Amino acid sequence: MGHPGPVRRSDVAGAVTIRRPVRVVFAVCSELRNLPRSVGDVVDVRPLGHDRYEWTVAGPAAIRVRLTVEVTAREPDRALAYRSRGVRGMRAQWLFRFEETDQGFCRVHETIRLPFGALGAAVLRAVGKNTSVELHANLRRLKDVLESDDPAR
C-alpha cells in the first residue's frame, strides 16, 4: 500500500483524536493543498498532476526549499501515504492511518520516515528542526483546523 515498510526505531510517530467523522478528516488530509493550514513548515503546495505536488518548505535561516512529493497510496477513509521524490535513500515518507473511535470521531495516526533514519533526524536537530516536536505540533494544528466551525475553508 505504499507504506515505508516495518516501523523502525528511527521513525517518528504520533496520533490525535479529532472530533469529526473519518470521512471529513480524510477528505481534508487527502487534499495536499490543505497542508499549509496544519503543517508548520509547508508554506505552499502546488499540484503538478498525477498525484504529484511541489511543496515549498520553510527551512532554517529563512531558506525556502522546494521538493516534489508524490502520493504513493490512497485508501479512502483508511490510509494515505506520500513521499518526497529523488534519490531512493534520500526520500522522506509519510503514512497516515485513519480509524473511527467508539464515539464516531477520527483517530489519525501519522508516521514519518526520514532519509538516513536516526542520522537524518540528528542532522535536522542540529539545524533546529526536531521532527518529533514538529509532528506533534502539526497534529495539534490539524485537530484545531478540523474542529473549527468550518474545516473546509
29 has a pLDDT exceeding 80: yes
Which tens digit of pLDDT belongs to each residue from 60-108?
A: 778 888 989 999 999 999 999 999 886 565 678 899 999 999 999 999 9
Residues 147 and 28 sit within 8 Å (Cβ to Cβ): no
Residue 77: what pLDDT?
A: 98
What confidence score (pLDDT) does residue 92 get? 84
- Please report how many Cα atoms fall inside a 13 Å half-sphere around the Cα of residue 9, on the Cβ side: 2
Q: Is the pLDDT of residue 124 over 70?
A: no
Lowest mean pLDDT among 24-38, 43-57, 109-123: 109-123
Q: How far is CA 69 from CA 106, 143, 148, in A?
A: 25, 23, 28
Question: CATH says 24-146 is which class?
Answer: alpha beta
4-8, 37-41, 53-57, 77-81: segment of lowest average pLDDT: 4-8
Residue 118 C-alpha cell reads as 536516526
The DSSP output letter for 35 is G
